[in-house]
Structure 1
């Protein structure tokens, strides 16, 4: 599957969860699935529950199906819990750090900043959103990016509270990673064990 570029609020309504990486818009009063029969309560199967939890991760972090499968295989090889490792790998993406630092209003916008080389990683311009950050890494906005309207607005009013694993330097337009993100610091509710069970029988 390719990366999703359609209506974002519609996806969040279908999944029943606000995904800060996908959109800043709240569900509001329409917190039911889209469509003619969206208001009717539906009984979800075990597969349906697993699929929803997997799609939360895929849409919030803006990944294609093959990308998240690759990350799952890597997480499965780790000695620790597979689900916790998967969340850690997702949170350690460079585009997610740019979003969590408040440089962009969504992960989608953060990915675009990275793609256009508006972000410096340890002093060097990079354009690969999936680069994995490590403790000690420093991410900074390039000078030409600091006056972009969407960046200015996001810095003035970040979508989320900056996580404890980041130290933000407003004067330098920079953020430094102090430690590895913890699984419980993912900024939306997700039952990652359902994701593990979803892929356990498919990969």
Structure 2
């Protein structure tokens, strides 16, 4: 399954949650599912609840279904709770770090910054959004990347507050990973155990 490129607000309304990595728009004025019967009260099935939690992760981080599956498998083989490890792995993606550092308005835009070689990792140009960062790693914007209008706007008015696991340095337009991200630092509500249960019968 490929990455989603359709209407972003429609996805957030369907899931009932704002996903900062997907869009800067708000569902406050229409906080009900899209469609003719969107405002009618419907109780989702257990499967529907698990699917929606999984979709939150997929759409916020902009991943394909295959990528999510591989991360779940890795999380299951690691020490500690599978759900917590999964969230850590997602937050440690380079494109997510670029987004959480305030260099891009969404994770999608952050991925483009990396793909177009506007970001350096530990002083080296990189173009692979899925690179996994570690404590001590430092990212910076190139001079060209720092002149992009959307980037300038984000640096002036960040979409999200910088999480505690990132040290942001405005003068150098850089950010350093100070520690591993914690599960409760994901910037939207998520019941990750439902995601684990969703894949328990599929992997």
TM-score range, shorter chain: over 0.9
Residue 79 (structure 1) shift? 1.7
What are the ranges of 5 or more consecutive residues in structure 2 without an aligned counterpart? none
Q: Which residue of 2 aligns with 1:111?
A: 111
Residue 77 (structure 1) shift? 0.1
Find the aligned partners of 1:146 and 1:185 in 2 and give their Cα distance.
26
Q: Which residue of 1 aligns with 2:34?
A: 34
Find the aligned partners of 1:28 and 1:79 in 2 and give their Cα distance.
39
TM-score, length of structure 1 as denominator length? 0.99
Structure 1 stretches of 4+ moved >3 Å: none
Find the aligned partners of 1:145 and 1:201 in 2 and give their Cα distance.
43
TM-score, length of structure 2 as denominator length? 0.99
Question: What do residues 131-178 of structure 1 show as CA deviations (whole Å, max 9, x unaligned)?
Answer: 000000000001111111000001111110000001111110000000
Name the SS for the 1:176 alignment partner: strand
Find the aligned partners of 1:85 and 1:97 in 2 and give their Cα distance.
17
Q: Which residue of 1 aligns with 2:84?
A: 84
> CA RMSD, aligned part only?
0.4
Q: Which residue of 2 aligns with 1:126?
A: 126
Find the aligned partners of 1:30 and 1:190 in 2 and give their Cα distance.
20
Find the aligned partners of 1:79 and 1:141 in 2 and give their Cα distance.
34
Find the aligned partners of 2:28 and 2:91 in 1 and give their Cα distance.
27
Q: Which residue of 1 aligns with 2:146?
A: 146
Find the aligned partners of 1:176 and 1:28 in 2 and give their Cα distance.
33
Q: Which residue of 2 aligns with 1:176?
A: 176
Residue 29 (structure 1) shift? 1.5
Name the SS for the 1:29 alignment partner: helix
What are the ranges of 5 or more consecutive residues in structure 1 without an aligned counterpart? none
Name the SS for the 2:140 alignment partner: strand
